[in-house]
Amino acid sequence: MKILITGANGFLSYYMVDQLLNNNHTVIATGKGESRLPFIHPHFMYEELDFTNAGAVAAIFAKHQPTHIIHAGAISKPDECELNKPVADKVNIEGTAILLAAAKDYAAVFLFCSTDFIFDGIKGMYNEEDTPAPVNYYGETKVKAEALVQQYPHHWNIVRTVLNYGKPFNKRNNILTIVQEKLEKGEAYEVFHDQVRTPTYAGDFAWAINAMLEKNVNGIYNICGEDVLTPYEMAVATGAFLQLDTSLIKKITAKDFVQAAKRPLKTGLDITKAKRDLGYQPVSFNEGLKKTLG
Q: What are phi and psi of 251, to 5 degrees?
A: -75, 135
Query: pLDDT digit string (tens) for 148-164?
Result: 999 999 999 999 999 99
- Backbone dihedral region of 102: left (phi > 0), alpha (psi from -120 to 50 degrees) or beta? alpha
pTM of this structure: 0.96
DSSP string, 170-190: TTB--HHHHHHHHHHTT--EE
**CATH code of residue 16:** 3.40.50.720
**Nearest residue to 264 via CA among 169, 138, 180, 170:** 138
Question: Which residues, listed in sequence order, are joined to residue 269 by a DSSP beta bridge?
Answer: 126
Residue 278 lies in a domain: no
- pLDDT computed for residue 256 by the predictor: 86
Residue 275 lies in a domain: no
Query: pLDDT digit string (tens) for 197-246?
Result: 999 999 999 999 999 999 999 999 999 999 999 999 999 999 999 999 99
Residue 187 lies in a domain: yes
Residue 217 lies in a domain: yes
- pLDDT computed for residue 231 by the predictor: 96
Determine the structural domain holding residue 75 and report its residue range.
2-164+200-222
The structural domain count of the chain equals 2
Are both 241 and 102 inside the same structural domain? Answer: no
Are both 78 and 190 inside the same structural domain? Answer: no
Query: pLDDT digit string (tens) for 85-115?
Result: 999 999 999 999 999 999 999 999 999 999 9
In angstroms, how far is the first alpha carbon of the chain from the final one?
A: 33
Are both 240 and 218 inside the same structural domain? Answer: no
Query: Rounded distance, CA 97 to CA 104, Å?
Result: 11
Three-point CA angle 84, 257, 163, nearest 5°? 70
Query: pLDDT digit string (tens) for 149-204?
Result: 999 999 999 999 999 999 987 767 889 999 999 999 999 999 999 999 999 999 99
Residue 81 has pLDDT above 80, yes or no: yes
Residue 86 lies in a domain: yes
* Residues 6 or more apart whose Cβ sits within 8 Å of residue 6: 30, 31, 49, 51, 69, 70, 71, 72, 73, 95, 99
Query: Other C-beta atoms within 10 Å of 123: how many?
Result: 11
Are both 151 and 178 inside the same structural domain? Answer: no
Are both 52 and 191 inside the same structural domain? Answer: no
* Residues 6 or more apart whose Cβ sits within 8 Å of residue 215: 277, 278
- SS3 state at 285: helix
Are both 187 and 76 inside the same structural domain? Answer: no
